[in-house]
Amino acid sequence: MTHAPKRLGSRVRALRQKEGLSQVELARRLGISASYLNLIEHNQRSLTAPLLLKIAEELGVDFQDFSDGRDDDLAVALVEVFSDSLFTEHGVGPSELHDLVGASPAIARSIVTLYRSFRTARSSADSLAGQLYDSQQVPVATRSQLPSEEVSDYIQRRGNYFPELEDAAEALWRDARLEADELYHGLARHVADDLGMRLEVVRLGGPGGALRYFEPERRRLRLSSMLSPASRAFQLATQIGLSTLGEVLDHLADDPELTSEPSRRLCRVVLANYFAGAVVMPYQRMLEAARSERYDLELLMHHFGASFEQVCHRLTSLRRPGAEGIPLHMIRVDMAGNISKRFTASGIRFARFSGACPRWNVFGAFQTPGVIRVQLSVMPDGEPYFCVARTVPKSRGGYHEPTTIQAVAIGCQLRHARELVYSEGVDLEDLDGGVPVGVTCRLCPRRDCGQRAFPSIRDPLVIDENVRGPSFYTPPSEVEDTPRHGH
């Protein structure tokens, strides 16, 4: 999808109106004519940097208000909303939606929230109808916004970087005198001697049993014996974060867009996991190792005693100003195509309200379990990306406990691909050899994709009962009239 340029004029108009100023008054303060300001506000004249700074000063706003990256995400979400067949007949285009975001971001967010509620209600109605049909018990109604979605949006807004938790992890290393080769034992000693917890490694649970179980009143912390020493270290670090960083976690989770107590609780757990990742894989050591090993995920796993998914997640959080890693995106999916984790610093966009493109290599990873797959992919707007994917089995152990298989992928813009060891042997100059991918079928303009599940909003659905294309929603190419001989 091609993004429209940022319409700063719409933002100027919105901020001016918010301050209750007329065009004439603001133009006078800026030392320009009202007619020139009118052209700026209607995006018919570009804004110079000095004038932009002066406008920010006169309106009493931060310069960043004119370049808020959240607007890009909001605009993409709004375009996806209006790709629903519900709105097809209204002909609302991406340009109009970008204008709406620039002029009235609050209204744009409200539309996305309303649409999300609508989809949840529709899904609940379908589920209820199906259960009534099958004579099953009626389910309890769900909230309009899942806590997991709100937390994912929160992590994206914060850029998946939390300096407070990075500082706390470094302080723990100093105060607990941790050593890399004895991390688990060092953390175990800390929770026992410094935090007064009684640590037990036991067989927890049965089917669906806990991996970590803490009883605050008795100060007893139990870890599952099925966990590896590395996983036990991660769980210990998570519990340390939850037990000692309460005020920090509460402060971070006090966000107006986390609209429910379950969302805030989930956010605390996610942030505690972030802290654990920072403890197991300290920032500077992780950055240096990633660069020296050229982001070889398996070598980093062995170096830090972490899982494939933990390493991928940690790599996306290396965003410290002045010491950044490669800007990466990450996605986790299951075999049904459900996206359970998503974050992007690379600029790639993920579907929020519909299924993702099946051509992404994260889905192909299920065909070769345990094998790393690489992909040079090209989005519809021509932007190329380099992605790495692999399955991640999760087992609680035991014959009666089925293994859950998910797939995790990370990737970057093509210009960073040479910094990854996986680019060796790949012709990064041959974009024609790249895999054409999209965000989701409804937003993708490609007319030659045989894996379409839905028609594109850009093309009307035309049915010719006498012609069959590569898929039901893909028009066939021209048929040759020249007769061919032979059997």
The fold of the 8-112 domain, in CATH, is 434 Repressor (Amino-terminal Domain) (1.10.260)
Write down the pLDDT at residue 62. 63
399 to 202, 257, 370, 395, 405: CA distances (angstroms): 18, 43, 21, 10, 16
CB 183 within 8 A of CB 174: no
DSSP 151-200: HHHHHHHTTT--HHHHHHHHHHHHHTT--GGGHHHHHHHHHHHTS--EEE
Return all residues near 315 (Cβ < 8 A) that are at least 6 apart.
Answer: 286, 290, 295, 300, 325, 326, 328, 330, 410
CA-based torsion, 139, 144, 149, 151: positive or negative: negative
Any idea where the domains of the chain sit in the sequence? 8-112, 163-280, 325-443
Q: Lowest-confidence range among 67-76, 191-200, 422-431?
A: 67-76
The fold of the 325-443 domain, in CATH, is Beta-Lactamase (3.30.450)
Question: What's the whole-number mean pLDDT along residues 337-354?
Answer: 85
Under the banding of pLDDT at 50, 70 and 90, the label for residue 126 is low
Over residues 284-341, the pLDDT tens digits come to 999 999 999 999 999 999 999 999 999 999 999 999 999 999 999 999 999 988 888 9
Identify which of 306, 388, 304 has the alpha carbon closest to the alpha carbon of residue 346: 388
Domain 163-280 has CATH 1.10.10.2910: yes
In this prediction, what percent of the chain has a pLDDT beyond 90? 47
107 to 154, 260, 430: CA distances (angstroms): 19, 21, 43
As a whole number, the mean pLDDT across the chain is 83
Question: What's the whole-number mean pLDDT along residues 218-239?
Answer: 92
Question: Number of H helices and number of E strands within the chain?
Answer: 17, 11
Over residues 469-480, the pLDDT tens digits come to 666 676 665 444
